[in-house]
Amino acid sequence: MGAQLKVVVVGAGLSGLVAATELADAGVDVTVLDKGRSVGGRLATRRLADARLDHGAQFFTVRSPAFRRRVDDWVDRGLVAVWNHGFDADDGHPRYVGTAGMNSLAKDLAASAERAGATIMTSTLAFGLRPSPGDSPQHRWEVVIDDGSTLPTDAVIFTCPLAQTFALLADVGVWKSGDEATDAAHDAIVARLGIDLDQTLFRTQYDRTIALLATVDGPTAIPEPGGVQDGDDVFSFIGDNQAKGISSSPAVTFHANAEWSEAHWDDDADTTLAALEAAARPWLGDAQIIERQLKTWRFATPRTVWPDPCWTTADGTVVVAGDAFAGPRVEGAHNSGLAAAHSLLA
């Protein structure tokens, strides 16, 4: 392989962007596709009036040397700061945040990938993967994208939540990410691409999250340091974006826990909004909600994590990565993206 290698990365979340940066730095011809209007995936930050709110990942911790190096660089450049050292009690471990919101970290990686020569295509849905036609094609695979065109490539790194990745490995339109992970669907992928896809990996499930984003008119009752984990029966996390330092005006992110989100997933938006606002009330003190928005994450958190940092086909040309591999959090996504890139550079 080497300098001539052509790689398509599906997904411009943290893992895809890390993989793309690493590969582009090594001289690989990289194209990144994301169906979203901008990069970041679950590193998501939204503006509501003049407030700024993180509505996916809220903070992160650092345990591994590889992520330590990345975070040290972000801290040196003012992109990341320490929010606190524990929500209930000081445990000595820093909780970091993006100083301009978590999405700014994805933007930073995308910019460095592009500087190194990568092409990043947003608003571009990958539909499927197929072997290149012909007896001796120049490239091993074709990635089919939503305008009907194809991208020929030597290797593909998939970094979507796993059900979305496996929908791309099934024949176009045959099995969708919301469909049940049956033996037949698994066997169809194995037969179609001739890959040894593990059944357990194929059946990885994700918890959902329903988020309420709210701007408020004054101080809330959320205690120092402005974040509460598993504070009651409804919310897994409550984050005061002003206390966190990313919003100039008061704005709160409420994440309903997995059980609540699952139970209310099919409710209509008005009913869900009313229920979440009622549950949020005790945390708001005297503050009143000015603007609110709902955000739903169908594939928020993998319920199980694969023991290796990425998965590859026997010939190494299809790599599956993301936070279902190196841990269901920011650091895991980062390290899985690195491992995916290195599997192609080895």
Ligand X SMILES: Cc1cc2nc3c(=O)[nH]c(=O)nc-3n(C[C@H](O)[C@H](O)[C@H](O)COP(=O)(O)OP(=O)(O)OC[C@H]3O[C@@H](n4cnc5c(N)ncnc54)[C@H](O)[C@@H]3O)c2cc1C
Q: Which of 83, 206, 297, 311 binds ligand X (CB under 6 A)?
A: 297
Site for ligand X in 57-116 (CB under 6 A): 57-60
CB 190 → ligand X: shortest distance, Å? 20
247 binds ligand X (CB under 6 A): no
Site for ligand X in 126-145 (CB under 6 A): 126
14 binds ligand X (CB under 6 A): yes
Which span (6-14, 109-117, 134-142, 271-279) binds ligand X, by CB under 6 A? 6-14
Q: Which of 7, 9, 19, 41 binds ligand X (CB under 6 A)?
A: 41
Which span (28-36, 148-156, 194-202, 284-292) binds ligand X, by CB under 6 A? 28-36
Residue among 286 and 308 whose Cβ is closer to ligand X: 308
Rounded to 5 degrees, what are φ and ψ at 69? -60, -45
Residue among 209 and 241 whose Cβ is closer to ligand X: 209
Q: What is the residue whose two structure tokens read 């990043």? A: 120
212 binds ligand X (CB under 6 A): no
320 binds ligand X (CB under 6 A): no
207 binds ligand X (CB under 6 A): no
CB 189 → ligand X: shortest distance, Å? 15
Q: Which of 19, 24, 30, 33 binds ligand X (CB under 6 A)?
A: 33
Task: Print the binding letters for residues 155-174 with ligand X: x by CB under 6 A, - otherwise.
Answer: ----xxx--x---x------
154 binds ligand X (CB under 6 A): no
CA distance 254 to 276: 8
Residue among 88 and 135 whose Cβ is closer to ligand X: 88
CA distance 225 to 99: 16
Q: What separation in angstroms does the CA of 265 have from each of 134, 153, 214, 295? A: 46, 38, 19, 11
Residue among 10 and 212 whose Cβ is closer to ligand X: 10
- The count of C-alpha atoms lying within 13 angstroms of the C-alpha of 46, restricted to the half-sphere facing its C-beta, is 21
Residue among 59 and 202 whose Cβ is closer to ligand X: 59
CB 171 → ligand X: shortest distance, Å? 14
Can you give the chain as a three-state secondary structure string?
A: CCCCCEEEEECCEHHHHHHHHHHHHCCCEEEEECCCCCCECCCCEEEECCEEEECCCCCECCCCHHHHHHHHHHHHCCCEEEEECCCCCCCCCCEEEECCCCHHHHHHHHHHHHHCCCEEECCCCEEEEEECCCCCCCCCEEEEECCCCEEEECEEEECCCHHHHHHHHCCCCCCCCCCCCCHHHHHHHHHHHCCCCCHHHHCCCEEEEEEEEEEECCCCCCCCCCEEECCCCCEEEEEECCCCCCCCCCEEEEEECHHHHHHCCCCCHHHHHHHHHHHHHHHHCCCCEEEEEEEEEEEEEECCCCCCCCEECCCCCEEECCCCCCCCCHHHHHHHHHHHHHHHHC
Q: Which of 6, 35, 107, 244 binds ligand X (CB under 6 A)?
A: 35
Q: Which of 6, 107, 244, 329 binds ligand X (CB under 6 A)?
A: 329
Q: Which of 34, 108, 142, 240 binds ligand X (CB under 6 A)?
A: 34
* Total number of residues that touch ligand X (CB under 6 A): 38
CB atoms within 10 A of CB 320: 26
Residue among 59 and 283 whose Cβ is closer to ligand X: 59
Residue among 54 and 154 whose Cβ is closer to ligand X: 54
Site residues, ligand X (CB under 6 A): 10-16, 33-36, 41-43, 56-60, 125-126, 159-161, 164, 168, 209, 211, 255, 297, 300-301, 322-323, 328-330, 333
